[in-house]
Structure 1
Amino acid sequence: MENQMKRGLLDVCVLAAIKIEDSYGYQIVKDMSSFVEISESTLYPILRRLENQQLLTVRTAEHNGRLRKYYHITPAGLDRLKAFEEEWKELKQIYEFVTREEKHE
């Protein structure tokens, strides 16, 4: 898959992983693992990029004596997910066109 397309899809997957409740890096990887393969080393640059784009916010909380970063989706992040749903309709149509069977008369 083209890198730019995969990057965009991973961004949306990360936002979807924190859509329902705040989460932290390891848990996000774990939650996504049955749908898409992503490593923590791939995840953290995505989280920073999404934070810079104001699609999520970060808060730090203590957990078992250590500080842990929790990620929270913003209204702009929710808007991005809604926009992806619309984009997906178009992508699905393109996929159906590309994978259609030729009709022989």
Structure 2
Amino acid sequence: MGEEKDLMGNLVSELRRGTLILSVLSQLGEAKYGYALVQSLELKGVEIDPNTLYPLLRRLEKQGLLSSQWDVGEAKPRKYYRRTLLGDDIFRELKEQWERLSDNMEQILREESI
């Protein structure tokens, strides 16, 4: 039973991993700092560990999909992230791809249950 639970956990993690980029990009039309992004995603049912989020944010920034800016006006400096114009374009394209993929999967799964 423990092996089956581990297997299921790993498979669910793989499914989720594929959705994180789209989830993160969807929330950064307006600037947010990391912790606020974690909270925003969690409110929508998407759990993301900060140890996963921050490397992802840095990678997306390096790819030109996000820009960042430090706000040092508060007691604790915060780095805010936001989609770039390229990030907006990529987000729209990924969203369209997701919608097609999701529709196809729904059809496949419906056929399976018949």
Runs of 4+ in 1 over 4 A off after TM superposition: none
Q: State the 1:95 CA deviation.
A: 1.1
How much does 1:83 deviate?
0.4
Q: TM-score, normalised by structure 2?
A: 0.77
TM-score by length of 1: 0.83
Alignment size in residue pairs: 102
Residue of 17, 24, 35 corresponding to 2:33? 24
CA shift, 1:102, in A, is 5.7
**Counterpart residue type for residue 32 of structure 1:** L
Please state whether the residue corresponding to 2:48 is helix, strand or coil: coil
RMSD: 2.1
Match of 2:53 in 1: 43
Structure 2 residue runs of 5 or longer lacking an equivalent are 1-11
Aligned equivalents of 1:23, 1:29: Cα separation in 2: 10
**Aligned pair in 2 of structure 1 residues 103, 30: CA closer, same or farther (>3 Å)?**
closer
Indicate whether 1:77 and 2:107 are aligned: no
The answer for the alignment partner of 2:22 in structure 1 is: 12
Give per-residue Cα distances to partners, 1:4-32, cap 9 Å, x unaligned. Answer: x533421111111111x201000000000
% identical aligned pairs: 38
Q: List alignment gaps of at least 5 residues for structure 1.
A: none
Tell me which protein shows more helix as a share of its residues.
2
